[in-house]
């Protein structure tokens, strides 16, 4: 028996949305459709694909470990300094770097539940305590989160829009919240779905950075930019916090193809616009179809939505899986009759409802 580091014992292996190939292999079916991981149904930006083609012949070399050009581009894009940008192997990795850099044994981090399920384990791994605050009406309960702040609090995670509920907290709510947060506590705004939000009350985490607050804004190329498979996300923060995150960051964490693809995707404004428009249309289609069937759902600001099927979501998940549709069952979010579905292309959304109509009546009996 080996002696494992304390904190590792209680961790569970993360269960991502099932990959298409795994379902096809296990069930011996084809034409499987994944609506489980909030990926981009329109694929990657064509400009990103071109950039990858041009770079393929160079992959015998290490990537630029400092990500110089991508950081320059991101800094220009968001109006910050390159020293304020930290690149990650997905924003996932940066969540872990944050805990590594800022959580000591016994330190506390405040987060919502259900929310993105990576905050809690990374805090625990570092010997910290995750203080989880239940959502209120499916939204972050910022009042209750503020009330938990004490001298041990180091980090507060705000997932905005929140995964899995797709809900947002507003500018006014965040302003009132920050007034209660001591300056030295770092507030992490996880804005993985930032590009999808069409709402003037939605706060841009960068505004608080510009106001001189200790905040970390997380964004990613995995969602609206369609590069989930390449693993590239980033943090925008103060130069001081960026420096600490870079100290714990593995030296070549973002590979060469990811760097060139991300740079190209960032320039592809037309693709991004197409993605956002298609998502809005897809959302409206979901709303209409759900209302027609009387299925409750949570209005969403992201590219996925939660719906209450009224039946055991694990069984529903399995029945849909057998028919080639992968969704996310709500049991992992302690919402056992709900499922989370990623908005797909029009034909995918239609197939989702066709399969739902096929399996739901049998499970209601």
Q: Which residues bind ligand PLP (CB under 6 A)?
A: 38, 90-92, 116, 159, 163, 190, 192, 220, 222, 228, 233
Query: Which residues have C-beta within 8 Å of that of residue 104, sequence separation ≥ 6?
Result: 126, 127, 128, 154
Residue number of the CB atom closest to ligand PLP: 90
Residue 239 contacts residue 80 (beta carbons within 8 Å)? no
Shortest separation between residue 163's beta carbon and ligand PLP, angstroms: 4
Shortest separation between residue 220's beta carbon and ligand PLP, angstroms: 3
Q: Distance (Å, rounded) from C-alpha 128 to C-alpha 182?
A: 19
What is the H or E stretch that residue 71 is in?
Answer: helix 68-78
Residue 40 contacts residue 223 (beta carbons within 8 Å)? yes
CB-nearer residue toward ligand PLP: 221 or 311: 221
CB-nearer residue toward ligand PLP: 52 or 217: 217
Residue 283 contacts residue 305 (beta carbons within 8 Å)? yes
Residue 98 contacts residue 245 (beta carbons within 8 Å)? yes
Shortest separation between residue 221's beta carbon and ligand PLP, angstroms: 7
Shortest separation between residue 363's beta carbon and ligand PLP, angstroms: 27
Shortest separation between residue 288's beta carbon and ligand PLP, angstroms: 25
Shortest separation between residue 150's beta carbon and ligand PLP, angstroms: 26
Distance of CA 126 to the CA centre of its chain: 21
Q: Distance (Å, rounded) from C-alpha 190 to C-alpha 324?
A: 31
CB-nearer residue toward ligand PLP: 39 or 319: 39
CB-nearer residue toward ligand PLP: 159 or 217: 159
CB-nearer residue toward ligand PLP: 154 or 231: 231
CB-nearer residue toward ligand PLP: 164 or 324: 164
Q: Distance (Å, rounded) from C-alpha 67 to C-alpha 151?
A: 36
Query: Which residues have C-beta within 8 Å of that of residue 327, sequence separation ≥ 6?
Result: 35, 36, 316, 317, 320, 339, 340, 341, 352
Beta strands in 89-198 (DSSP E): 108-113, 129-134, 153-159, 186-190
CB-nearer residue toward ligand PLP: 17 or 310: 17
Shortest separation between residue 90's beta carbon and ligand PLP, angstroms: 2
CB-nearer residue toward ligand PLP: 34 or 311: 34
Tell me the CB-side half-sphere exposure of residue 182, using CA atoms within 13 A: 11
Shortest separation between residue 193's beta carbon and ligand PLP, angstroms: 7
User: Where do we find the tokens 């616009």?
Assistant: 273
Q: Distance (Å, rounded) from C-alpha 328 to C-alpha 37?
A: 8
């Amino acid at each position: 028996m080996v002696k494992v580091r304390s904190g590792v014992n209680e961790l569970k292996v993360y269960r991502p949305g099932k990959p298409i190939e795994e379902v096809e292999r296990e069930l011996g079916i084809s034409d499987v459709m994944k609506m489980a991981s909030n990926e981009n149904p329109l694929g990657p930006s064509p400009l990103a694909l071109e950039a990858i083609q041009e770079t393929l012949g160079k992959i015998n070399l290490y990537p630029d470990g400092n990500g110089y050009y991508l950081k320059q581009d991101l800094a220009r894009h968001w109006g910050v300094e390159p020293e304020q940008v930290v690149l990650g192997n997905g924003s996932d990795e940066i969540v872990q770097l944050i805990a590594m850099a800022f959580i000591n044994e016994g330190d506390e981090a405040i987060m919502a539940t259900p929310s993105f399920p990576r905050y809690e384990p990374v805090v625990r791994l570092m010997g910290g305590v995750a203080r989880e605050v239940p959502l209120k009406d499916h939204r972050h309960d910022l009042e209750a989160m503020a009330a938990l702040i004490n001298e041990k609090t180091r980090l507060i995670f705000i997932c905005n829009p929140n995964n899995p509920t797709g809900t947002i907290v507003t500018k006014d709510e965040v302003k009132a919240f920050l007034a209660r947060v001591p300056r030295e506590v770092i507030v992490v705004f996880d804005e993985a779905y930032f590009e999808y939000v069409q709402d003037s009350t939605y706060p841009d985490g960068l505004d608080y950075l510009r106001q001189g607050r200790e905040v970390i804004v997380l964004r990613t190329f995995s969602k609206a930019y369609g590069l989930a498979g390449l693993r590239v996300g980033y943090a925008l923060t103060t130069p001081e916090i960026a420096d600490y995150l870079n100290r714990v960051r593995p030296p070549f964490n973002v590979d060469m193809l990811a760097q060139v693809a991300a740079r190209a995707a960032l320039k592809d404004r037309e693709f991004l616009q197409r993605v956002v428009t298609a998502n809005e249309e897809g959302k409206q289609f979901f709303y209409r179809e759900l209302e027609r069937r009387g299925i409750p759902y949570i209005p969403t600001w992201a590219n996925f939505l939660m719906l209450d099927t009224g039946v055991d979501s694990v069984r529903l998940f399995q029945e849909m899986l057998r028919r080639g549709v992968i969704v996310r069952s709500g049991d992992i979010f302690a919402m056992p009759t709900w499922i989370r579905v990623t908005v797909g292309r029009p034909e995918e959304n239609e197939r989702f409802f066709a399969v739902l109509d096929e399996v739901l009546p049998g499970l209601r009996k």
